Amino acid sequence: MMKRENSNRTRIVGLRFTPEEYAQIERKFRASTCRKLSDHIRKHLFNKPIVSTYRNQSLDDLMEETIVLTTELKAIGNNINQIAKKFNTLKLIPEFREQAFWFEVDKKRLLEKMDEVTNHTRKISEQWLQL
């Protein structure tokens, strides 16, 4: 188990800020990866590196739309698989053989495109999450 970092912190320093100063501190804190304001201030005071996050709003919007699209495509793919299972029982009837063939071709193309979207979404999300 990791030792708590602040276990020997017994001294308190009180500071007062103007609303503008506090807003500036809070803005920098929110742009950082620090979980607590006190951690952010402590890092700043002791010249420790502060990791800042950067979000590209247009990339955020694209990511959100892509996630929605991917979810919808997966649902469509599941529906197609269910239809395919039922359709395969009709392959025994000669009139349905050609339709079954083209259905399988279209299903394969759709699944390939879904894989492309999924891979593209994964790449964007890795960049978006700055992994």
Residue 54 has pLDDT above 70, yes or no: no
Give domain limits for the chain: 15-53, 57-128
Q: What is the DSSP letter of 97?
A: H
Write down the pTM of the prediction.
0.39
Residue 78 has pLDDT above 80, yes or no: yes
Q: Indicate the burial class of 40 (C-beta count within 10 angstroms; 0-12, 13-18, 19 or more).
A: buried
Name the residue with tokens 């395969």. Answer: 88
Residue 126 has pLDDT above 80, yes or no: no
Tens of pLDDT along 4-49?
Answer: 555 788 888 888 989 999 999 888 888 877 888 888 888 888 877 7
Task: Provide mean pLDDT across the span 111-118.
Answer: 84
